[in-house]
Structure 1
């Protein structure tokens, strides 16, 4: 069908992802179906079959092999793509770690879904949060337009010579993968112009016509490990600066900005703050507006880049704020509350004033994070700001 370059079309999230990949012209894609990402790679397969995308499409027997194919193609100098969800990400895990350790600039989509058990194709962010420390860059999209735009930015970021790290673009399964909404599709010329700085680069190639170099070498001395991990961490830290630069350049060409590392909404005079990530952020904005009309000065912070975690930017945004609530769609099993809550607690240690932080876990197993639930969370933070004793962690869909 007609892709509609340079037009506004109604697209599902997975179709928006496929369109973004088409515009970025990968050399190799390795695909394996798993709900709810399947329609994304099906659309990419159609693009290849109809001659719209000149790409080697490798249909593998599982997600572990999909990432292995991408690693091989990437270290040979190719631009690569794959996609997965949930248990597929689990099955991929050992090669997922290898990709980041080899500094292979792969771009992958994870369409978030709950992990088993219990079993069920339902929404949740447990899958992507479980691999947060695997050394990849993690960017989360809020809506279908942001899915398309973020994938394009991901290639620019991953292939930057100062970064050379794989990037996972994650978005909520079902809520976004099958949601249809208006998406502005860029022209091929504009995307080519945006990606030109990395397209013209000759990055280090480990496999090529000149022969082979060792890949995934054996480290025989502790200092090699230390240097390796240090350089990996330094590259991840650089992402914070690069993401700001890439976002600004993207806005110059495409006239859209979804936030850099975080996005603030009505935070300037806010007395209480709600922190969110993913698709329910849009619902949270509506509730924030409603609570403002009730006289509650509440603001919202959306986390866009989860790895590297935007500590410095959050310290700036939370300066002077004393009461915050964190929405989590996953659980840090064996810890306290959810994964975002744990990260924010670490950030708060860098503030010079005390902050009361409350955690709200919701949306597990495909449960809706509704306006009443978010309103209830804001009310609880507000009551805490007035001196009421409130529990630290609240399970919104249970209590």
Structure 2
């Protein structure tokens, strides 16, 4: 039986990598993910893993190394944040187009400018259309668990797409919490041996990766990613259920809290979901019929599940820790589209919050519920901004 450990989210991810022992890790340090690669480099130096660890000269190079290594037939992992993910942007699309099961942990951090090292989701949301599966964790335990499940999802033969394991910068990456790891041999059995598909180093069966594609086949390449994403949703659901049977920790693509009889719901991703549950408990003690909905999977977006969970509610607030300038937060239109065909649609309000790491306090979230109940929320709201 594994012993409970105390560490931060970055250390938990590094520990999961040690147990998986990937063939290649290529990375460039950037706050707040640096602890991941620092800790893992210690495992490499101490001989605790057999991983080829590559210190790249930039994040663009790190992802390029991961792409080359994965295409050659290696199990690959990396980590980044903020401007590092933005620097990778060009090659993120290549990783998905080449159907490479790369696992990347993203310590969510605001994008410049002005320069800011604290948490919001603008980095991951900026890459949401690049063909990567995106998981968002709430705490250190989920950071560890999602890291392990990311390998299973990415490497599934029905998917073969890269996966981002996203955790809130500093709030999860640097906060100490207790978590329960799996035993080393359990992890080995769980992730299994890596099965490369048409690796470049198989010289008896030569394969071309990344050639120029014109109008005759480009569309078909993209459609194959669409099909893989459709499969990925079912694979994610099955993976979460399998992991629950192994560990007793039950997860789902979306996780409702007191939704059954709730008239008013607030929806969020990441660490804010935990604060929301605390607020829901306080308000229900006052007799208010409120609930919360946590989204764990953002890509592929679980539209049918979200629609089923929210249909019939009176009003729903969608909390976005990022904004699309000139539009809304990125999660808001996804929820609107999910509910478009519902016969009993709730009123939907978008709340932009926590940009640049601004604290999210329980009383502010309670205020969101009050605005839903009183009908005073606008379609677009900015929580806590000084204007």
Query: Given the two structures, how large is their TM-score scaled by the length of structure 2?
Result: 0.97
Q: Does 1:95 align with 2:84?
A: no
Whether the 8 Å CA contact 2:198–2:207 is kept in 1: the answer is: no
Displacement of 1:123 after TM fit?
Answer: 1.3
- Conservation of the 8 A alpha-carbon contact between 1:8 and 1:185: yes
Q: Residue 56 in 1 paired to residue 52 in 2?
A: yes
Kindly indicate whether the alpha-carbon contact (under 8 Å) linking 2:311 and 2:346 is maintained by their aligned counterparts in 1.
Answer: no
Q: Would you say the 8 A contact 1:30–1:69 is kept in 2? A: yes
Q: Which residue of 2 aligns with 1:361?
A: 352
Q: Deviations over 1:188-207 (max 9, x none)?
A: 111122112xx264533244
Instruction: Check if 1:168 corresponds to 2:181.
Output: no
Aligned equivalents of 1:207, 1:230: Cα separation in 2 = 27
SS at match of 2:188: helix
CA distance in 2, matches of 1:207, 1:357: 52
Kept after mapping to 2: 8 A contact 1:360/1:394: yes
Please say if residues 24 and 69 of structure 2, whose CA atoms lie closer than 8 Å, have aligned partners that are also in contact.
Answer: yes
CA distance in 2, matches of 1:390, 1:371: 18
Q: CA deviation at 1:211?
A: 6.2
1:216 counterpart residue number? 210
Counterpart-to-counterpart distance in 1, 2:215 and 2:377: 51
Aligned twin of 2:31: 35
2:312 to 296, 320, 325: 320
Residue 367 to residue 158, structure 1, CA distance change in 2 (3 Å): same
Contact 2:310 2:346 in 1 (8 A): no
Name the SS of the counterpart of 2:39 in structure 1: helix
User: How far is 1:86 from its partner?
Assistant: 0.3
TM-score for the superposition, normalised by structure 1: 0.94
Q: What is the Cα deviation at residue 304 of structure 1?
A: 0.3
For residues 354 and 16 of structure 1, the distance between their equivalents in structure 2, rounded to whole angstroms, comes to 40
1:268-287 to 2 correspondence within 5 Å?
A: 268-287=260-279
Contact 1:111 1:173 in 2 (8 A): yes
Aligned residues: 386
Tell whether 2:345 aligns with 1:345: no
Other structure's SS at 1:378 match: helix
| Pick aligned residue for 1:304 from 296, 302, 313 | 296
- How many Å apart are 1:218 and its aligned residue? 1.6
Partner of 2:369: 378
Secondary structure, aligned partner of 2:64: helix
Residue in 2 aligned with 1:106? Answer: 102
How far apart are the structure 1 equivalents of 2:330 and 2:174?
Answer: 25
Residue of structure 2 in register with 1:254 after alignment: 247
Distance in structure 1 (CA, Å) of the matches to 2:198 and 2:255:
34
Task: Write the mapping of 1:230-249 to structure 2, written as runs, cut at 5 A.
Answer: 230-249=223-242
Find the aligned partners of 2:354 and 2:196 in 1 and give their Cα distance: 44
Distance between the aligned counterparts of 2:92 and 2:377, measured in 1? 40
Report whether the alignment pairs 1:79 with 2:79.
Answer: no
Distance 1:89 1:281 in 2: 24
Paired residues of 1:190 and 1:253 also in contact (CA < 8 A): no
Mapped to 2, the partners of 1:260 and 1:72 lie a distance apart of 33
Report the alpha carbon displacement of residue 143 of structure 1 after superposing the two structures with TM.
0.3
* 1:156-195 correspondence to structure 2 within 5 Å: 156-195=152-191
User: 1:227 offset after TM fit, Å?
Assistant: 1.6
SS at match of 2:259: coil
Q: Distance in 2 between matches of 1:391 and 1:318?
A: 19
